[in-house]
A and B are shown apart, each in its own frame.
Chain A
Amino acid sequence: MPRVVARRALWSIPLLFGVSISTFVLVSLTPGDPARTILGQNGTQAEYEALRQQLGLNQPLWEQYWRWLSHVLRGDLGTSLFTGQPVTMLLDGRLTVSLTLIVGATLLSTVAGVLIGVASALRGGFAGRSVDVVAKLGLAIPTFILGLVLVLAFAVRLQAFPATGFVPFRDSPGEWLRSLVLPVVTLSVAGVTIVAQQTRDAVLDALNLDFVRVLQANGFSRRSIVYRHVLRSAAIPIVSLIGVVFVSLLSGTVFVETIFALPGLGSDAVQATEQHDIPLIQGVALYFALIVIVVNLLVDLLYTWLNPRVRAEL
């Protein structure tokens, strides 16, 4: 286990470096001028140049990146070009919202996906084919459309959940839960279908293994065989998939946070990109990259624990 952690930590350094450089280059190539956005269209050329100089935007790209990197190494992600507030202060609160959303969606995807997948594998026939069809539908429906439909049905028509907004847990646990139901369901639908399909395939494969027949011959109950043995064997690919699902949900937060007006990293990324607020964009990219690294590490650790062959190799 410590070797896994150490290896992941080492690999994370060039990964973060690569993410920050590619984000910086991509943003720099995108048309847009923060000075013009701040001053409006009526400034003089001299005024734009003066502001660019003040913000350091007139320096060569590599100098701008190096200045940013040297601050990051000291724990300073810089300040927003527009609000002047520290990027860490702006993003820390939003990180909680996004993580709550993504973790909730991942949990729902996992639990519901596994249960549906197991049921489908065991029932077979029509149920199995239905899971395939529903899985494809779940992947085909755009997150944006699904979110709007859920809002219309459950918020506007049934008044069961709020249409927009996020309530912090400390303000009201009940309202916190209510404010998350629709966004989490919206975000998790695709994940449920992916996990269900993968679970079904993995369980079916595991049921064909010799040890299952041996267990049956030894009189073990079907429930015990499936939930104590087959699922553990099938869990290995499922765990790997859940890590991928978690990472894919990150991109889905952009849509979901916009639809439900949630103050998360995704909606912040949209605003920062529109404004060409480079420090904020870099900060968001860094936060997302760190989340991916941590999740992949946890997946690796879980995988190692589940798979005795991997443990033996370590």
Chain B
Amino acid sequence: MRRKTKDRRLSTGSVMLVAALVVACAVAAAAAAAGSKPSREGQARRAAAGSVLTIASSDAATTLNPAQNGNSAASAIYDELAYEPLMNLTNNGTITPGLATSWGYVGDGNTKFEMTLRTNARFSDGTPVTADAVAASINYWRGAKGPLAAYTSAISSVTAIGPSTVQVQCSTADPDLPLVFSRLLMAGDVISPAGLKNPTALQNQTFGAGPYMLDPSQTVAGSSYTYVPNPYFYNQSAIHWQKVVVKVIADDNSALAALKTGQVNIALVGSNTAAAAGSGLSVYTAPAQFEGLYLVNRGPGSPLAKVKVRQALNYAVDRTAIAKALFGKYATASDEVAVPGYDGWDPKYANHYTYDPAKAKALLAAAGYPHGFTLNVDSLNEFQMNNMAEAISGYLAKIGVKLSITVTPTIAAYVNDALSKKYQTVSMYYGGLPMFVIGQQLLAENAGLFNPFKSDNQTFDKLLAKGASLPAAERNVVWRQLQDTIVDQGWQLPVLYDDETWVTTKNLRGFTVGGGNINPDPLTIAPAS
């Protein structure tokens, strides 16, 4: 029989025991805290005094080998700290000297390129950065077949023609070699001869001539990567920190919490998280990528083969509303496959396809689809790509076009599905790049992922070939013509470009990002005081 009377002493004792346990834990924690807790103010003071800069990255380093790493903001930081590129970029995309002090194309046609190196640069092992070393590094890069290697595909040879002069010969015109060798496309992240002799070591160690170098003894792979100053860096006054730590924090909210508590100084977070940063933190933005839908199946029999259909889809979407709904103030409606800060960007396309469902329906009817049709979409559960597809779907439904969206959980699955040619459209998410690169990657017949059905457009090919061989001023005119064609033909369905949003603590100076350079330059970041 259950006892109904209460034994106050025992009940009280149990409660007191629980309370004692809780208090004991709190006391222990507080005692530990009092003894060794670094206050937020203390952390800020240390950082301000030039001690430690902590950067949060959402991704662990897949590899530290710059030839096999990518240039996304989350992954580029691992290499940018240790590998000085041949050319640097300012926040507005201006190319400035790095390991190379001067450069230029030789003759006409943009097929021969020469660079002159600074003579006082050294790798972190003390050996000098020579033309031979640079040539060997670029040639290794080309052969390593990393994710950015395609940007060097036009290069046929790289040779040292003097102790400090490197010559690059291209088999076809490539107008963007300064960017290819900059921190944007990273082929100019020079690896030392010692690193090239032992490529396996490049995965876990650094062999660059940059301001910092990895300290493996303080590094926990996949969790935190510690960099210490390179004593041989050519510009010691640009080294502001005794230590730079890159901490892997996968979750945006966790990164924001770490910023607010002073555990990290810099983090790249999503726009929703940046909006919640509050007045105690600084937010920096840079237009970074355009999003929408790739209209990939333009083959015979597909509705997308018709220009009027593609134009109808472009008229059917309210870009401004989608931009505001998905990204708030961190996105801008756009009709073009380009981003401000890069050549090929034309501001007149901010509102070329005005939202006009009636016109869209009329175009569909004229194209022979008065009742609409169904398209399937290969989408991805990242970067709001699936939300973008859903938003577009709502607008297209009003003109009779139904989207059947498949959301894959991983990038690998998204890529596999896109290449399978089972999908007529693919969610678009593409970073800002020069127009020549965009042309090769999105428009060319063999563009691969972004053109799985190998749609051929000879106008694009002609304009790409023409622009590639011209000097910059004339080239930009051709790129505008190319953009005109892409937009006029409704070749894709871009909806907006959105910003990279960086959040920092307020005790820093020199942090800048901008159109043309969405990743901050670690050399310019210094303590505020």
- Residues of A in contact with B (beta carbons under 8 Å apart): 30-33, 36-43, 47, 82-85, 90, 93-94, 111-112, 115-116, 118-119, 122-124, 148, 151-152, 155-156, 159-166, 172-175, 177-178, 181, 204, 207-208, 222-223, 226, 258-261, 263, 267-268, 270-271, 273-276
Query: Given known contacts A31-B410, A85-B221, A178-B37, what 18 new A-B pairs fall within 8 Å (CB)?
Result: A37-B411, A39-B146, A115-B14, A115-B21, A151-B253, A151-B257, A155-B261, A159-B39, A164-B249, A164-B255, A164-B263, A165-B263, A174-B31, A174-B32, A226-B10, A258-B251, A261-B247, A276-B412
Task: For A83, give its contact among B7, B221, B223 (CB under 8 Å).
Answer: B221
Q: Cβ of B473: which chain A residues have Cβ within 8 Å of it?
A: none
Task: For B258, give its contact among A41, A161, A258, A261 (CB under 8 Å).
Answer: A261
Q: Cβ of A161: which chain B residues have Cβ within 8 Å of it?
A: 29
**Quick one: given A47-B145, A258-B250, A263-B222, are A156 and B412 in contact (CB under 8 Å)?**
no
Q: Is A40's CB under 8 angstroms from B37's CB?
A: no
Stretch from B147-155, B236-244, B360-368 forming part of the interface with A: B147-155
Q: Cβ of A85: which chain B residues have Cβ within 8 Å of it?
A: 203-204, 221
Which residue of chain B has the shortest Cβ distance to A45 in the bound complex?
B448
Task: For B63, give its contact among A82, A166, A177, A273 (CB under 8 Å).
Answer: A82
Q: Cβ of A165: which chain B residues have Cβ within 8 Å of it?
A: 224, 247, 258, 263
Against A, the Cβ 8 Å flags (1 = close, 0 = not) of B1-23 are 11110110111011101100100
- The contact size tier of chain B is 35 or more
Interchain CA distance A148-B253 in the complex, whole Å: 8
Which residue of chain B has the shortest Cβ distance to A93 in the bound complex?
B220
Q: Is B410's CB under 8 angstroms from A32's CB?
A: yes
Q: Is B28's CB under 8 angstroms from A163's CB?
A: no
Q: Cβ of A175: which chain B residues have Cβ within 8 Å of it?
A: 32, 36-37
| B358 close to A (CB within 8 Å) | no
Task: For A123, give its contact among B6, B203, B258 (CB under 8 Å).
Answer: B6
Interchain CA distance A263-B221 in the complex, whole Å: 9
Q: Is A163's CB under 8 angstroms from B21's CB?
A: no
Q: Is B18's CB under 8 angstroms from A261's CB?
A: no
**Quick one: given A90-B221, A164-B257, A164-B258, are A41 and B62 in contact (CB under 8 Å)?**
no
Q: Is A36's CB under 8 angstroms from B415's CB?
A: yes
| B164 close to A (CB within 8 Å) | no
Q: Cβ of B221: which chain A residues have Cβ within 8 Å of it?
A: 83, 85, 90
Chain B, 137-186, CB within 8 A of any chain A CB: 145-150
| B248 close to A (CB within 8 Å) | yes
**Quick one: given A31-B413, A119-B11, are A160 and B33 in contact (CB under 8 Å)?**
yes
Q: Is B10's CB under 8 angstroms from A222's CB?
A: yes
Q: Cβ of B35: which chain A residues have Cβ within 8 Å of it?
A: 174
Q: Is B2's CB under 8 angstroms from A124's CB?
A: yes
**Quick one: given A82-B63, A84-B200, A163-B261, are A271 and B222 in contact (CB under 8 Å)?**
yes
Q: How far is the CB of A43 from chain B (nearest CB, A)?
A: 6
| B408 close to A (CB within 8 Å) | yes
| B417 close to A (CB within 8 Å) | yes
Q: Cβ of A174: which chain B residues have Cβ within 8 Å of it?
A: 31-33, 35-37
Which residue of chain A has the shortest Cβ distance to B253 in the bound complex?
A148
Q: Cβ of A83: which chain B residues have Cβ within 8 Å of it?
A: 62-63, 203-204, 221
Can you list 12 A-B pairs with a CB-CB distance of less than 8 A?
A31-B408, A36-B416, A39-B146, A39-B149, A43-B150, A119-B11, A151-B253, A163-B258, A164-B254, A177-B32, A263-B220, A268-B222
Q: Is A112's CB under 8 angstroms from B204's CB?
A: no
**Quick one: given A155-B257, A159-B40, A161-B29, are A41 and B250 in contact (CB under 8 Å)?**
no
Q: Cβ of A47: which chain B residues have Cβ within 8 Å of it?
A: 145
Q: Is A41's CB under 8 angstroms from B33's CB?
A: no
Q: How far is the CB of B226 from chain A (nearest CB, A)?
A: 13
Which residue of chain B has the shortest Cβ distance to A212 in the bound complex?
B3
Query: Does more than half of chain A's interface fall in helix, strand or loop, or is it mixed?
Result: helix
Q: Is A123's CB under 8 angstroms from B200's CB?
A: no
Q: Cβ of A177: which chain B residues have Cβ within 8 Å of it?
A: 28-29, 32
Which residue of chain B has the shortest Cβ distance to A280 in the bound complex?
B222
| B503 close to A (CB within 8 Å) | no
Task: For B412, give its contact among A36, A94, A222, A260 (CB under 8 Å).
Answer: A36
Q: Is A32's CB under 8 angstroms from B412's CB?
A: yes
Q: Cβ of B257: which chain A residues have Cβ within 8 Å of it?
A: 151-152, 155-156, 163-164
Q: How far is the CB of B381 from chain A (nearest CB, A)?
A: 12
> Which are the 7 A-B pairs with shortest beta-carbon distances?
A40-B147, A32-B412, A42-B150, A263-B223, A174-B32, A31-B413, A163-B257
Q: Cβ of B28: which chain A residues have Cβ within 8 Å of it?
A: 177
Task: For A222, give its contact among B7, B150, B203, B254 (CB under 8 Å).
Answer: B7
Q: Is B250's CB under 8 angstroms from A39's CB?
A: no
Interchain CA distance A39-B70 in the complex, whole Å: 10
Interchain CA distance A271-B21 in the complex, whole Å: 37
Q: Cβ of A118: which chain B residues have Cβ within 8 Å of it?
A: 14
Task: For A41, give its contact among B14, B260, B449 (CB under 8 Å).
Answer: B449
| B60 close to A (CB within 8 Å) | yes
Q: How far is the CB of B351 from chain A (nearest CB, A)?
A: 31
Q: Cβ of B150: which chain A residues have Cβ within 8 Å of it?
A: 40, 42-43
**Quick one: given A33-B412, A82-B62, are A173 and B32 in contact (CB under 8 Å)?**
yes
Interchain CA distance A261-B224 in the complex, whole Å: 10
Q: How far is the CB of B37 from chain A (nearest CB, A)?
A: 7
Q: Cβ of B260: which chain A residues have Cβ within 8 Å of it?
A: 156, 163
Q: Is B18's CB under 8 angstroms from A275's CB?
A: no
Q: How far is the CB of A215 from chain B (nearest CB, A)?
A: 13
Interchain CA distance A259-B28 in the complex, whole Å: 24
Q: Is A178's CB under 8 angstroms from B251's CB?
A: no
Q: Cβ of A84: which chain B residues have Cβ within 8 Å of it?
A: 200, 203-204
Task: For A119, give its contact among B18, B37, B223, B415 (CB under 8 Å).
Answer: B18
Q: Cβ of B408: which chain A residues have Cβ within 8 Å of it?
A: 31
Q: How far is the CB of A134 from chain B (nearest CB, A)?
A: 13
Interchain CA distance A163-B267 in the complex, whole Å: 14
Q: Is A111's CB under 8 angstroms from B21's CB?
A: yes
Q: Cβ of B254: which chain A residues have Cβ within 8 Å of it?
A: 148, 151, 163-164, 258-261
Interchain CA distance A263-B250 in the complex, whole Å: 11
Q: Cβ of A32: which chain B residues have Cβ within 8 Å of it?
A: 410, 412-413, 416
Which residue of chain A has the shortest Cβ distance to B220 in the bound complex?
A263
Task: For B145, give its contact among A43, A152, A275 (CB under 8 Å).
Answer: A43
| B393 close to A (CB within 8 Å) | no
Q: Cβ of A38: which chain B residues have Cβ within 8 Å of it?
A: 62, 68, 146
Q: How far is the CB of A138 from chain B (nearest CB, A)?
A: 16
Against A, the Cβ 8 Å flags (1 = close, 0 = not) of B201-222 are 0011000000000000000111
Q: Is B62's CB under 8 angstroms from A275's CB?
A: yes
Interchain CA distance A66-B21 in the complex, whole Å: 51
Which residue of chain B has the shortest Cβ distance to A51 in the bound complex?
B145
Q: How far is the CB of A200 from chain B (nearest CB, A)?
A: 12
Chain B, 446-470, CB within 8 A of any chain A CB: 448-449
Interchain CA distance A31-B422 in the complex, whole Å: 15
Q: Cβ of B1: which chain A residues have Cβ within 8 Å of it?
A: 208
Task: For A267, give its contact among B250, B261, B410, B441 (CB under 8 Å).
Answer: B250
